[in-house]
Structure 1
């Protein structure tokens, strides 16, 4: 049905109402499994911001002290996680949006009604995200993606595959130009090593992790949350940061994650190439952080050359991670008859259960992190290191896995998903 057809139907008084939310039997394994694993990567990558008593490096992200185990944890996170998990989140977010839209239209809802659901969902995500940022975790990304989805859903969700491909190319050019211009300018001036500013404040300060007064911490988190949501998101639109979002739109139209068996060649190339590019792009920053590569502090700063390289290549890594999960899901569902699942089957079901309740589990992380780690809470972040914080983060994720699995066995949705669906679908 075209937009014109939908409008004519509505004007005739025969409005086709949107169908309800997706039912359990309609779900594909890959998106849910990818979201469940994504939350593990997110909770681990956020650990550095809760180490408020540690001495941080030039970028303000990772600490620069600790034992060999701490240095190993920092090296792995800079190479494989930092600025690599958010593109993974963006791809899955865009994929889910397009899934929702296509499902509504295929069920007979008008395009206008389907877009209306997406619009209401985006607006409520902004509300949820800002509340989360203010009360618990300033680096919230739900509100950030709420703003992006509000704009991109309006502009692109009804566009065809050809138009999406054109805009994916435009976004890629934007991304490369915004990354390359400062680097090339500094290179021509012979100042590449001094690109950026050393001595950035630790990210934990923007999170107010070390603030003992809860109200003062709340004000800092609100300021950071507003900046991330209403400055960071528009900047992503200008700088091509919506590229991975549109790739998710395109992949959903091709049902790449629902039917990975039809796209094995694409998935293999994306997994190998994307992860290789992403890890190689993060390697110089990781080597510099542990002292194996001598570069100026400015190059390691948030606007420095190594961080720009790590940021741009992070998009490839995020897509590569999704492709790798899709390949695993295809293998898992085609293992052949007669092979017992055992603990492996339970683990896949449990992690997928987290993916089905990803928003509830994401917010639950902060409910366990902030009151225990922040100075205004129990203050445990003062005593943990990079390595022990990773263990703590994995433990938090496992708690959400157990909770999601219990809800799955009981046939219940996540509490936040339930509320959001009622608000978006008006049921």
Structure 2
């Protein structure tokens, strides 16, 4: 048991604690899933409008859409959000050990996330989640002293309320209220978006700002509470310190697998059936998915943690990009923007769903190699370093003075 714990944690003398390698690996795993989902939205105005790309209608194209929608969509951002909540507890513990005021430091960190998120949304991808984390982080500060049991109960209540909201939307749409526009309207919106994304810098930025204005209500009313619910679960797990030794919680992980894969996959199937239909069925599907996607995400996380001791090389490979996940998340959007928009090749709506998945895997493989190269020379990723400087402000440590915390 002593050896296994050493395998799961690597020392970081400057943090005054052990860095949990399983958390970094799980973060890297989540980052890969997010890229495979997001690349379709980065590559096509039709996907952003909730429609399949009309140029790709083969059986293979639909098969890939179904697989990504059922097994990946709305699952991995929840895992990432869970880890945001978990990391919140690690940062609070670190501040307490250093006898430093945590709240002002974390507020500066949230301000940095907000600025990065706004720049990301305007310049690269209006589907940015960093701004949501900045807002949700304020809620975590408010709830930071609640018990794990209360955090879980609050997360469940938020999830059920969100699902009830989509049920209400489905009822209103059934009654004849136009909640989402017609397919023709959606196609016109997608074509307009494609034309703008294939244009020059100001056309792209203007399109991103326009999309942000259209989805801001969705973010506030739906995505924000869903992210908060996942963060609260992470907060609860962090307070319990469960991820420091996953092998001590095998029974719990096994229970998450059984529940998550049964109820989660059933819900994902219902969601996928509704994803490419009318607004009424989409709203019902979203309601089901809100309840079951967290279960499937938990099953993925539990399975990953149980397999990790048997796949040490895969774990190490994923942990490295996970250590600089913020830099890699932003880099994914930049690379895709250079491929699909007028910033570069302007291949918007010219790449098939299957090719998008292959491209996503290739990008992530390159990020693994780059992250290895970078972290052999530096302690932090470039954006992590910037966020750290904003967080600690004038409190610079002796070994933080050499550029990007260059290793000696």
TM-score (norm 1): 0.78
In the aligned structure 2, how far is the partner of 1:121 from the partner of 1:172? 27
Q: CA deviation at 1:275?
A: 3.5
Any gaps of 5 or more consecutive residues in structure 2?
Answer: 1-11, 397-408
Question: How many residues are treated as equivalent by the alignment?
Answer: 379
Alignment equivalent of 1:31, drawn from 7, 23, 33 = 23
**d(CA) in 2 for partners of 1:79, 1:141:** 21
Evaluate the alpha carbon distance shift between residue 52 and residue 233 of structure 1 in structure 2; reply closer, same or farther with a 3 A threshold: closer
* Larger proportion of helix: 2
Answer whether contact 2:163 2:288 (CA < 8 A) is retained.
no
Pairwise CA RMSD: 3.2
Match of 1:22 in 2: 15
Give the whole-Å Cα distance in 2 for the aligned partners of 1:207 and 1:157. Answer: 43
Report the Cα distance in structure 2 between the residues aligned to 1:137 and 1:44, rounded to whole angstroms. 15
1:340 corresponds to which residue? none
CA contact (8 A) 1:137 1:221 kept: yes
Q: Deviations over 1:356-407 (max 9, x none)?
A: 0000111111221101111453112342100011111111111111111122
Counterpart for residue 142 of structure 1: 130
SS in 2 for 1:27: strand
Name the counterpart of 1:360. Answer: 327
- Indicate the residue corresponding to 1:14 in structure 2: none
In structure 2, the partner of 1:402 is: 369
**Deviation at 1:161?**
3.1
- Partner of 2:99 in structure 1? 109
Instruction: State the 1:39 CA deviation.
Output: 1.1
| Deviation sequence 1:102-145 (CA, Å, 0-9, x none) | 2322x1525xx112222111111010011111111121111121
User: Kindly tell me: are residues 361 and 407 of structure 1, through their superposed partners in 2, closer, same or farther at Cα, counting changes over 3 Å?
Assistant: same
CA distance in 2, matches of 1:206, 1:20: 49
Q: Secondary structure at the match of 1:417?
A: helix
Q: Are the equivalent residues in 1 in contact too, given 2:39–2:336 (CA < 8 A)? A: no
> Do the aligned partners of residues 88 and 180 (structure 1) sit closer, same or farther apart at CA in structure 2, a change above 3 Å counting?
same
> What is aligned with 1:167?
154
Deviation of the 1:421 alpha carbon? 0.8
Q: In structure 2, what is the Cα distance between the partners aligned to 1:287 and 1:240?
A: 22
For the pair 1:377 / 2:354, whether they are aligned, the reply is no
In the alignment, which of 292, 301, 304 is matched to residue 322 of structure 1? Answer: 301
Instruction: Say if 1:135 and 1:221, in contact at 8 Å, map to a contact too.
Output: yes
Deviations 1:38-80 (A, max 9, x none): 1111111012223437x669x6154363332222210101101
Out of 80, 92, 96, the residue aligned to residue 83 of structure 2 is: 92
Say yes or no: does 1:60 pair with 2:50: yes
CA distance in 1, matches of 2:340, 2:307: 35
| TM-score between both structures, scaled by the size of structure 2 | 0.82
Indicate which of 225, 248, 270 corresponds to 1:262.
248
In 2, Cα distance between equivalents of 1:129 and 1:308: 27
Distance of 2:167 and 2:281 partners within structure 1: 16
Q: CA 1:286–1:409 in 2, change beyond 3 Å: closer, same or farther?
A: same
Note if contact 1:208-1:217 (Cα within 8 Å) is conserved in structure 2: no
Q: Is the Cα–Cα contact under 8 Å of residues 299 and 307 in structure 1 kept in the other structure? A: no
Distance 1:239 1:395, change over 3 A: closer
Change (3 A) 1:307 1:21: farther
| 2:287 maps to 1:308 | yes
**Where does structure 1 lack aligned partners over 5 or more consecutive residues?**
1-18, 291-295, 333-343
Other-structure match for 1:297: 278
Aligned mates of 1:359, 1:317 — CA distance in 2? 24
Query: CA 1:232–1:146 in 2, change beyond 3 Å: closer, same or farther?
Result: farther
Q: 1:274 to 1:224 in 2, by over 3 A?
A: same
Find the aligned partners of 1:260 and 1:345 in 2 and give their Cα distance: 15
The answer (yes or no) to whether the contact 2:194–2:349 under 8 Å persists in 1 is no
Q: Which residue of 2 aligns with 1:11?
A: none
Residues 148/311 of structure 1: CA separation in 2 closer, same or farther (3 Å cut):
same
* Distance of 1:131 and 1:369 partners within structure 2: 16
Counterpart Cα distance in 1 of 2:217 and 2:299: 28
- Is 1:70 the counterpart of 2:58? The answer is no
Name 2:400's counterpart in structure 1: none
CA drift at 1:165: 4.1
